[in-house]
With several copies, the nearest count.
Chain A
Amino acid sequence: MVIKMVTIIPEIIKESIFNIVKNGERTDGRAFDEYREISLEIGFINKAEGSARVKIGNTQIVVGAKPQIGTPFPDTPNVGVLMTNSELLPMASPTFESGPPDDRSVELSRVTDRCMRESKVIDLEKLAIIPGEKVWMIFLDLHIIDYDGNLFDAAVLGSMAALMNTHIPETSCEGDEVVIDYEKMIPLPIQDKALMCTFAKIGGEIVIDPSLEEEDVLDARISIGMKEDGTICAMQKGGSKPITKDDVMKAINISKDKTKELMEHLK
């Protein structure tokens, strides 16, 4: 049985935030389609073959990528593997607890993983070492260290940056031998880019990049994973109230511009 810890927000706070939004404003003064300040520090962890520290407002995630040689899945024997894992560290929020990943953490890593995988960001076929026997597995670990809302967009941005930063040793086969050359590090075969824009439905309006304050009172959440060319590669609705088709199409529309804006951070 998976259980969601629900923070109880006094009705009065909820109502006040709703009213502000209905007046076309947000509690922190942002426009409905405005992100908080974003910073991205690439290569933050030297010991990781790829890494990034991302901040969206006060939300902060460290992402590390580590390649490891492993066995391919039986149904995709010639294809490398991307494994995404996230930890909502108890350090990041008074409501996070130690222990195995809860359902929020699982959702975060699975949505991030789908966004990276469905968009075919990495050419996984190039990660085969000996087809059917040995492939590169890329472990992507999301370390959530400060939680102030909108983990999805930060996780995807940090993951994309870490993967673009990742280098793996060159491998070659000589007869029966595989040579793995740690002196020749080559970048991951990145073939596309995808990012995610998350919206909150609050007081009937759709606002981008919800802060924690907004997340606590939102009716619904919708996240749009999008590639550079505007193709949708992932989508995830959350929250305990419904949304309409109009909400979704509006969010998609805004994402087209915002994804381009976010892509600038990767340059």
Chain B
Amino acid sequence: MITIITNTNINTGTEAGERADGRASNELRPLKIEAGVLKRADGSAYLELGGNKILVAVYGPRELHVRRIMQPNRAVLRCRYNMAPFSVDDRKRPGPDRRSVEISKITSEALTPVVFLEKFPRSTIDVFIEILQADGGTRCAGITAASVALADAGVPMKDMIVSCAAGKANEKIVLDLSEWEDKEGEADVPIAMMPRTGEITLLQSDGNLTPEEFEKALDLAVEGCKKISEEQKKAIIARYGD
């Protein structure tokens, strides 16, 4: 007994140098950010980037009950990146896998540098990132949304972290890889940065790049971050005014 699956329509690659979805190499996918979308959370944000649908809730600063990780002189920033079982083509089993554990860790490290944690000793700020629908680049989109949720929660920060990836797909350095480009492409460089100073708080590289290509991708990702940063600000203004 053989199970045959007929092919579905996936938007596949195109001619060399062109992007499958027709974007320019430095073009972001359609982006939408909304702040304050949940009732119970202290802060929240909803973000769509291409087909990504991401929801972030922030609780805190609040009392920390786990003594083992309590810091006497500052708050702990904890992140939980989680994919809904229905967010991907093949249902994901609920609960953390190794990938989400790593992303949670680096997301926390990406956001920590801007938060005035020392104002809240012995407490915690909890950031819950839910990927309702995944379409490539969820870790960056999650960090971008988390910043907006932190701002919505009124957590004091010296800058609003923004995140974006660039990479190499179809032999070209391009911005904001789609799911298909991420999977079929040569390399992916997700970054997070402080837009005011340009300093980098998250940096990974996955795939093969010459140092020159890497630098080009890095510069492109920084450019993308700046555009997204404007949208973050608009979302906050839309909710709270100038």
Known: A47-B88, A107-B105. A222 touches B203 (CB 8 A): yes
B133: chain A residues within 8 A (beta carbon): 45-47
Q: How far is the CB of A174 from chain B (nearest CB, A)?
A: 9
Q: Which of B121-138 contact A (CB under 8 A)?
A: 126, 128, 130, 132-135
Judging by beta carbons under 8 Å apart, are A118 and B69 in contact? no
Majority secondary structure of chain B interface residues (helix, strand, loop or mixed): mixed
Q: Do residues A147 and B40 form an inter-chain contact, with CB atoms below 8 A?
A: yes
Residues of A within 8 A of B101 (CB): 2, 103, 106
**A91 CA to B56 CA in the complex, in Å?**
8
Interface SS majority for chain A = mixed
CB distance from A233 to the nearest CB of B (A): 5
**How far, in Å, is A30 (CB) from chain B's closest CB?**
17
Query: Given the interface contacts A47-B133, A110-B99, A245-B200, does A143 sit within 8 Å of B84 by beta carbon?
Result: yes
In the complex, B41 has a CB within 8 A of chain A: yes
* B contact residues vs A (CB 8 Å cutoff): 1-9, 38-41, 51, 53, 55-57, 59, 62, 66, 68-69, 71-72, 76, 78-80, 82, 84-91, 94-96, 98-99, 101-102, 104-106, 108-109, 112-113, 126, 128, 130, 132-135, 187, 189, 193-194, 197-211, 214-215, 218, 222
Determine whether the beta carbon of A235 is less than 8 Å from that of B205: yes
Q: Are A182 and B206 in contact (CB under 8 A)?
A: no
A256 and chain B: residue at smallest CB distance: B211
Min distance, Cβ A103 to any Cβ of chain B, angstroms: 4
Most buried by A among B98, B99, B198: B98
Please tell me if the beta carbons of B94 and A141 are within 8 angstroms of each other in the complex: yes
Q: How far is A66 from B91 in the complex, measured between Cα atoms in Å?
A: 7
When the two chains form their complex, are residues B109 and A5 in contact, meaning their CB atoms are under 8 A apart? no
Query: B99 contacts which chain A residues (CB < 8 A)?
Result: 110
In the complex, A51 has a CB within 8 A of chain B: yes
